[in-house]
Structures are given as C-alpha cells and as structure tokens.
Amino acid sequence: MAGGRVQSIWTRPQRAGRGPAPRHSTVEIARAAVSLADAKGLAAVTMRAVAATIGTAPASLYRYVNTRGDLLELMVDQVAGEYTVSEPYPGRPVAGLLALAHQTLAIYRKHPWLLDIPPADGLPGPNALAFMEQTLAILRDVDLSGPAKLEVIGLFTATVRSFAHMEAEQRRAGRDIAGWQAAVAGYLLQVAATGQHPYLANALTTQPPDPRPGPEEPLFDRAMTRILTGLLPSARPTAARTVSMGGPQLNLLVLYTADVANCRAFYEQFGLEFTAERHGGGPEHVAACLADGTVLEIYPAGRKTPTGPLRIGLTLAAGRRGCIHLSGQHLLRDPDGRAVEVTVS
C-alpha cells in the first residue's frame, strides 16, 4: 500500500500495445494458476510453475503480471466467476443470501487454498464486483443505507469463510463436523454435571417445545439463517407482495406424495392439524387449514407423479402450539424434496 492506496492489478494501467501481440492472456494465466493450486496447494503456485503450465518462459509472464500478488488477485477473481446468478428473491433477502452462501461454501470446498489468501489482500476484480452487485440486488428492498448494506456483505462473506475454515480444520484433523460437535457436546455435558455452570447446564438440557419427527435443518442453514435474520430488518413491501382489495387469493394447495404419513408428519411440525377426508369417490387424503383460510391437502400420488419442484412459504408465530422451530427464517425440505421456507416471528 502506498499513499493510502492498495497496489492492485485492477488499478494498474494496461501496458501500451507496442511490440508483438501477446500470445497469452490474464484469464489463461489465472486458470493455470487455479489448476496448480487445486492439485498441489497454494505453495505450488510460483511464477516459474505457472509459466511452465502455459508453455512460456518465466520472464515472459512478467508481461502480464508484475508480482505473485498480482497472480493471487487473478486467481481469486477467477473462482469468483463460478457464482451463478440466482433468482431475485423479491422480499425474501434471507432466502436469497442463504442460496448465495451455499454457492460460496461450495467454492471454498472446491478451492480450499482460497482460505490461505488473506481477504484483505488486493481489491475486488470484475467477477467479485459482479458478486457484490448480485448481493446488493438481493438486499434492494431491505431498509438499510448503502454503507450498511456493504457492511452486511462483509459480515456475510466473513461468516461463510469462517464456517469453511472450520470445515477445513476438521478435515485436516480427520473429523467431520457432526463428530466434532458430538465430542464437544459430550465434554460439555460432563462439565455441566458438576453443577458449577448452571447456565451451561440449562442450555444443554433445554429442548424445543413439543418435538416432532422430521428432517433436521443442516447446521450451516440453521446458523446462517439466524445470523442473517439478526442482521437484516424486515424487507419493505414490494409490488409483487401487494394484494389489491378484491384481488385473487389462494384458497387451496394440493400436494401429491408417495408417502402421505411421512409428508403429514413433516407439515405437522409447523403446528398444522390435519384431518382425514374423502370427497365423493376420490381417494382418502388429509387436509389442514392455514390461518388465512387456505386449505392444504395431501393426497396419495397413486399413479400420478408426486408434486414436482415447488417452493412453499409459511409464516408462524413463535411459541405456536406444535411449532418446534426457533424465531428466524428456516429453509427446509419436505420428504418429497420440496423447498419449504418457514419464517417464525
């Protein structure tokens, strides 16, 4: 850093176009460096090794990059190009950021050497700026100032990086996250049994009210949802969410499933009370009524194909009888793989 400015390949003027046309490009160099790091780790990425990979002399590489720091910046931005543009998630910033968090975690898992590059090194390149733009698009309806939204992006990326770092440490130690959690929980239970840490003992023994069977929300989803819910105020109403007086309203949602009992048990964890029904000569099914009067029916698929890709959003009051989830937003999957976004407030 000189004069308060970060030295970066992205701020350096491009070399004049005199002399023979370049045989290589910074994109080709970045791809070669990423391949080396993926195969052998970040230490294997040297100017000489990258030059050999693209078939040129080490001295020729300096026509494109000045330092190894330039090379690292190119690599970081290269993998930032692996993000895919997700749906805009109007009015649902937590769900949008959670989807983006999964992409970020996948990139760290694919390129673990990223954790060896300090995030403060360098400046964001074109692909990193595209990531910021996409994240700000998800936050567009959130009632925060511009600087506050940028702070959210910083906290969001730091949290995902921390989780990825924890995963990498556990892998190096020959453990998985679940095994590590079990080991820590066992130790804490022993400590709490001495009676010297009553608040710890209470935290370890307190269970959600009225637990019901159902797939457990993954740790990453659960933690990120709580963190993001705490960071973001409620989104402002958007045109897509505004219902005019007298406009159409949903009053029935029918799901077809291969396992009615299992599907029913999943939706009962949100406090829904199902009753068995049969309409005329049709098949027996179960039905529950939501707070706004919408009826949810679960039918056996029979010869029909179970209801395919679908995203359902439910809003519940904290403490509602039968609801086992804590306050915040939770992204779950029902037994047939349908996405169920639950907001407990």
Q: What are the residue boundaries of the structural domains of the chain, listed by start?
A: 1-12+22-174, 181-206, 250-344
Pick the residue with more confidence: 70 or 119?
70
- pLDDT tens figures, 172-212: 888 877 777 788 888 999 998 898 988 888 888 776 544 44
Phi, psi of 107 (to 5 degrees): -65, -40
- pLDDT tens figures, 30-79: 999 999 999 999 999 999 999 999 999 988 888 889 889 999 999 999 99
Strands (E), the chain: 252-257, 275-277, 285-289, 295-300, 311-316, 328-333, 339-344
The fold of 1-12+22-174 is Tetracycline Repressor; domain 2 (1.10.357)
Mean pLDDT score, 154-166: 95
Query: Do the beta carbons of residue 7 and residue 122 sit within 8 Å?
Result: no
Pick the residue with more confidence: 16 or 309?
309
Rounded Cα gap, residues 46 and 55, in angstroms: 14
With pLDDT > 70 as the criterion, what percentage of the chain qualifies? 83
The pLDDT of residue 340:
82
pLDDT at 342 over 50: yes
pTM over 0.85: no
Q: Which CATH superfamily is domain 250-344 in?
A: 2,3-Dihydroxybiphenyl 1,2-Dioxygenase, domain 1 (3.10.180.10)
Give the pLDDT band of residue 236 (cuts 50, 70, 90). Answer: very low
Query: Do the beta carbons of residue 267 and residue 334 sit within 8 Å?
Result: yes
The pLDDT of residue 264:
92
Q: Hey, do 1-12+22-174 and 250-344 end up sharing a CATH topology, with the first three levels equal?
A: no
Phi, psi of 50 (to 5 degrees): -65, -40
Q: What is the mean pLDDT of the chain?
A: 82
